[in-house]
Amino acid sequence: MTSDTQALKMPPVASTANVRLEAALRHKLDHKTKPLGSLGKLEQLALQLGLIQQRTTIELLQPQVVVFAADHGLTDEGVSAYPQAVTVQMVLNMLQGGAAVNVLARQHGFGMTVVDAGVASAIPDAPALPSHAPTLLLRKIGFGTRNMARGPAMTGHQTLAALSAGMDVVSHLAGNVVAFGEMGIGNTSSASLLLARLCGVPLDDAVGRGTGLNDEQLDHKLRVLFEVTRKHRDAKTPLAALTAMGGFEIAMMAGAMVQAASERRVILVDGFIAGAAALLARGLRSHCADYMVFTHRSAEVGHKLMLIHLQARPLLDLEMRLGEGSGALVAWPLVQSAALLLNEMASFESAGVSQASATQPAHDLPASA
């Protein structure tokens, strides 16, 4: 894979580490009119945002959500509760504004782009689209991946093309915040396989019910995926694992994340599938992680372990398992809150509020305190 990696032109991603700025951000947070640390995770988030933007006042501009859609040849093996046709049907639903991600994008004023990364059919012309329809980008790498139970899901060339397309998509986006979502019947299988391979998680712990398998169907999925890991046991690097067991939407999202990080955008990482792309992006450019806000813990069983491997403490745990970027968008107002609280809250000095005696050394306290 070394030659492949070299063939891929991928931008550098800088670390956000900045000791002086971090101290300035902590000082600003600690002098707001509130008990020290009392905004909890929102303070850690404000700190991360400040480091991403390298400033002590945050500006979040024109947030975007990009949904990558693709199909998986593995669905031939009966690993999903839904037929493959649902992928293109849901793309049309998104173009017409009816999916969960549309509702949430409208609620929060996100620009929305749907990318055909490799849906198994052509996207038919949709009937009269609403005025605020998402942008559709046709970046199809293939008509679905091949059935990875029989051979690699994609060729090395397709992997690189997908990563490049993802980079290109992001490079043309407005704003400085981007949420990534996906739609692809069968893609929890890919994400589980990547988690197992890249993090050394036992496959049993990485595989879940996806869109809603019953016990019998879950057993079957697990048997199929065991065969897939055996078949591709030599695919060990991120790129090799992606080629053998990935999906076009996952590859494209991974490239998109690298590009977003290279441009210092805030990356809102959705659930289990987006998490697999995050693992890959981090594998390709380690500092990508600095730019990622992990928005929620999915109900998909492997996500908990995936988040541990990503060293991520997600903002929400709402037992969601929908994909599309829905979790990222539900969490977005919390990111805004973190920024606004850092930007706008008064300080003890400016508001004339007394500070805690607890911040004094203990020997200065009155005996009764």
Q: Which residues are catalytic?
A: 324
E-strand ranges in 26-138 read 64-70, 111-118, 135-138
User: Between 221 and 285, whose beta carbon lies closer to its own copies?
Assistant: 221
Q: What is the 3 state secondary structure string of 277-344?
A: HHHHHHHHCHHHHHHEEECECCCCCCHHHHHHHCCCCCCECCCCCCCCCHHHHHHHHHHHHHHHHHHH
Q: Which stretch binds its own copies (CB under 8 A): 147-155, 157-165, 255-263, 321-329?
A: 321-329
Distance of CA 54 to the CA centre of its chain: 22
Report if residue 130 touches its own copies, rule: CB under 8 A: no
Site string for its own copies, 35-54 (x = CB under 8 A): xxxxxxxx------------
CB neighbourhood size of 331 (10 A) = 22
Q: Which stretch binds its own copies (CB under 8 A): 110-118, 137-145, 230-238, 314-322?
A: 314-322
Site string for its own copies, 14-33 (x = CB under 8 A): ------------------xx
**In the complex, minimum distance from the CB of residue 344 to its own copies, in angstroms, rounded to a whole number:** 5
Site string for its own copies, 172-211 (x = CB under 8 A): ---------------------------------------x
Q: Which of residues 213-242 bind its own copies (CB under 8 A)?
A: 213-214, 216-217, 220
Report if residue 136 touches its own copies, rule: CB under 8 A: no
Cβ atoms of residues 306 and 195 within 8 Å? yes
Report if residue 257 touches its own copies, rule: CB under 8 A: no
Q: Can you tell me which of 77, 116, 270, 290 binds its own copies, judged by CB under 8 A? A: 77
Report if residue 117 touches its own copies, rule: CB under 8 A: no
E-strand ranges in the chain read 64-70, 111-118, 135-138, 177-183, 266-269, 292-294
**In angstroms, what CA-CA distances link 70 with 119, 249, 300?**
4, 5, 20
**In the complex, minimum distance from the CB of residue 191 to its own copies, in angstroms, rounded to a whole number:** 15
Report if residue 364 touches its own copies, rule: CB under 8 A: no
Of 117, 158, 142, 152, which Cα lies nearest the Cα of 252? 117
**In angstroms, what CA-CA distances link 51 with 29, 203, 292, 347?**
14, 36, 12, 21
Q: Can you tell me which of 11, 130, 151, 212 binds its own copies, judged by CB under 8 A? A: 212
What SS3 class is residue 234?
coil
Q: Can you tell me which of 191, 277, 321, 325 binds its own copies, judged by CB under 8 A? A: 321
Q: Which of residues 272-311 bind its own copies (CB under 8 A)?
A: 299
What SS3 class is residue 177?
strand
Q: Can you tell me which of 18, 62, 171, 357 binds its own copies, judged by CB under 8 A? A: 357
Report if residue 346 touches its own copies, rule: CB under 8 A: yes
Cα–Cα distance measured from residue 89 to residue 92, given in angstroms and rounded to the nearest whole number: 5
